[in-house]
Amino acid sequence: MRFPAVLWMALCMLLSACASHHGIVIESGDRYSTQAAEIGDYRLGAGDKVRMTVFNEPTLSGEFAVTSDGTVSLPLIGDLPAAGKRVTELASQAQQMFAGGYLREPRVSMEITTYRPFFILGEVKSPGQYPYATGMTVLNAVATAQGFTPRAEKSLVYIRRAGAAEEEAYRLTPEIRVFPGDTIRLGERYF
């Protein structure tokens, strides 16, 4: 008995779709670290909020957001480029600007108060945009999105880092980390 060509081709396509993970699956690296995220090297981006404190100048201190064009609008000195900078670099630049004719010997400190959100889509019950929390894992993100759907692939996750052009496939383990601005996609299992 001969197997019809159409059925044979459909079976081959189904098996190849199940076996494919869209390329290389990453199983180690910075996302798999069990330590808390290194905030010291964090680069600011649109959606982040910083709190600036100017010593003895409460009217200049406050909370400021990084805008979609990557700037922070500060009192007296105006818009400063912030995207891609560490918070310490931005504080140093603000201090120099205040010292350039506005304040005598200013002391400026900054801290991040709100990180840009992450996005989760695919096979979760409530896909969307959610606030980032320090030390967040993919499983925390899934829980925030009300859990997996019944059809979710629970061994693999696709993550696109903020600013990256392509997503990467990762083995889904309890310690895999999420970074601010990530887009997380959970695929559908076939069987």
pLDDT in tens, 24-51: 877 766 676 655 445 557 889 999 999 9
On the question of pLDDT at 54 being above 50, the answer is yes
Tell me the per-residue pLDDT of 73-105, one tens digit each, with 9 for 90 and over. Answer: 999 999 999 999 999 999 999 999 999 988 999
DSSP string, 157-185: EEEE-TT-SS-EEEE--TT-B--TT-EEE
11 found inside a domain? no
Q: Are 47 and 110 within one domain? A: yes
> Residue 101 contacts by C-beta under 8 Å, 6 or more apart in sequence?
none
Q: Label residue 20 by pLDDT band (50, 70, 90).
A: very low
- The percentage of the chain sitting over the pLDDT mark of 70, rounded to a whole number, equals 81
Q: What is the gyration radius of the CA atoms in the chain, in angstroms? A: 23
Q: Record the pTM.
A: 0.75
CATH number at residue 67: 3.30.1950.10
- ∠ CA 148-150-154, rounded to 5°: 55
CATH value at residue 122: 3.10.560.10
Count: domains in the chain:
2
Per-residue b/e over 36-51, b at no fewer than 16 CB within 10 Å? ebeeeebbbbbbbbbe
Q: Are residues 131 and 171 in the same domain?
A: yes
Classify residue 139: in a domain, yes or no: yes
What average pLDDT does the segment 62-68 reach?
A: 95
What does the alpha-carbon distance between residue 124 and residue 9 come to, in Å, rounded to a whole number? 32
Indicate if 135 and 176 belong to the same structural domain.
yes
* Residues 148-191 pLDDT 10s: 999 999 999 999 988 888 999 999 998 899 999 999 999 998 87
pLDDT at 50: 96
- Structural domain ending residue among the three candidates 83, 114, 145: 114
- Domain annotation covers residue 168: yes
Report which of 60, 27, 22, 67 is spatially closest to residue 45, judged by C-alpha positions. 67
112 has pLDDT over 70: yes
Is 8 within the bounds of a domain?
Answer: no
Look at residue 111 and tell me whether its pLDDT is greater than 70.
yes
* Residues 6 or more apart whose Cβ sits within 8 Å of residue 50: 44, 63, 64, 66, 72, 82, 87, 90, 110, 111, 112, 113
Examine residue 97 and state whether it is found in any structural domain, yes or no.
yes
Check whether residue 127 and residue 156 sit in a common domain. yes
Query: What sign has the CA pseudo-torsion 46, 48, 54, 57?
Result: positive
User: Domain range for residue 176?
Assistant: 23-38+116-186
Would you state the pLDDT for residue 78? 93
Q: What pLDDT does 8 receive?
A: 47
* Residue of 68, 39, 45, 33 whose CA lies nearest to 163: 45
What is the pLDDT at residue 41? 75
